[in-house]
Amino acid sequence: MADSLLSNLLCSEGSESVCYDDNDDQNIYKNQCFIKNLETECDVLDFPVQSDACLSLLVEKECEQFVGFDYLEKIRNGKLDLVARQQAVDWIRKVHAHFSFGPLCAYLSINYLDRFLDVYDFPKDKAWMMQLLAVACLSLASKMEETEIPLILDLQVCEARYVFEAKTIQKMELLVLTTLKWRMQTVTPFSFIDAFVEKLGCDQPISRSLILRATQLILCLINGIDFLEFRPSEIAAGVAISLVGQTKMSSLFQHVQKERILRCVELVNSVCTKSITSGTTVPQSPIGVLEAAACLSYNNNNNNNNSDDSGVVGITTAFKRRRLNNNRTPSHLEL
């Protein structure tokens, strides 16, 4: 059954092959535009922010895509391989920086990966499958968000532990799409951040530098696992308050609970503190913050996972740049 499903994959690039929700197309498009505008020379972002009605719809939508607390507990309890997931996230971040993809692409790649792992029983004894999943998620995210994307084989850079055939990657893409029920237009913290910053800033114009710093913080958060406890709106609220202050925090209570906001603010401050104590300088761009976060993640892995790391390093050395063709990764291996 799995063989017939995966062998039918032809990963179409046309717009007709992607499912969209007509109700929130316009809202998501506006937020995509604001992320792209981070690279312009404008000091003030002068486009309209989301209305309260739109924000309420986005909050409702995000609940449908939230992985939930059970997934985070599964990671913390060891039921899901934390080291393998972190290696996949680190690789996604490196390739994202290599091709200078936008911030949304990074967030969506990790979001797809976590949503897939939340519902799919992933075998721990097949190390190559996590790498294949990472490639597929990054490929799908780049198709959703980027206007210029490399060939699917060219994504496998930055010391990928395995190299897969294009057909194998496409089969994995289809499995991810069907597992996520083709719901790829995910609500992200970027959907809320501009509106929340405006509410906290007493309706003052939103500066490009402020949104850029918010983007940096969001990208730092998704490097770890603690952010999985919070919904995108809560992450956006925590980041906005960390940057603007708590003076008008009550203006966000219509959309986010106060207790949840304060817990997320603590997480954001903790990430900033770790960055300072590790001697990592504050990057000046979203790409820079991804590279800085990579240093933090590798330091944490070396300190917390002695025996596991040695095994993973051995696998990396032995199988580095190993090509898995159709004979090595047949479609019948219960993908």
pLDDT band per the 50, 70, 90 thresholds, residue 207 = confident
User: Smallest Cα–Cα separation from 115: which of 207, 180, 21?
Assistant: 180
Whether 204 shows a pLDDT value over 80: the answer reads no
Give the span between the Cα atoms of 215 and 35, in whole angstroms: 9
Q: Are 224 and 241 in contact (CB under 8 A)?
A: no
Give the span between the Cα atoms of 162 and 256, in whole angstroms: 42
- CA angle 198-199-203, nearest 5°? 60
pTM for this model (two decimals):
0.71
Q: Which residue has the higher pLDDT, 10 or 251?
A: 251
Give the span between the Cα atoms of 133 and 196, in whole angstroms: 33
Strands 44-45 and 206-207 turn out to be: antiparallel
Query: Which 8-state DSSP code applies to residue 58?
Result: H
**Interval 47-77: pLDDT, tens:** 567 788 899 999 989 988 888 788 999 899 8
- Cα–Cα distances (Å) from 276 to 270, 272, 296, in that order, read 10, 6, 11
Rounded average pLDDT over 212-240: 91
Q: Are 231 and 72 in contact (CB under 8 A)?
A: no
User: Smallest Cα–Cα separation from 45: which of 183, 189, 206, 160?
Assistant: 206
Give the span between the Cα atoms of 136 and 10, in whole angstroms: 14
Q: Which residue has the higher pLDDT, 250 or 113?
A: 113
**Averaged pLDDT of the chain:** 74
Q: Tell me the DSSP string of 214-273.
A: HHHHHHHHTTSSGGGGS-HHHHHHHHHHHHH-STTGGGGTTTS-HHHHHHHHHHHHHHHH
CB-side neighbour CA atoms (13 Å) of 183: 15
pLDDT at residue 181, rounded to an integer: 92
Place of tokens 């330091």: 299
Strands 162-164 and 322-324 turn out to be: parallel
Q: Are 239 and 268 in contact (CB under 8 A)?
A: yes
Q: Name the helix (H) or strand (E) containing 44.
A: strand 44-45
Identity of residue 315: I
**Interval 277-324: pLDDT, tens:** 655 444 444 444 444 444 334 344 444 444 333 233 333 333 333 334
- Residue 165: both structure tokens together: 């055939």
pLDDT at residue 248, rounded to an integer: 82
Q: Which residues pair with 322 in a beta bridge?
A: 162
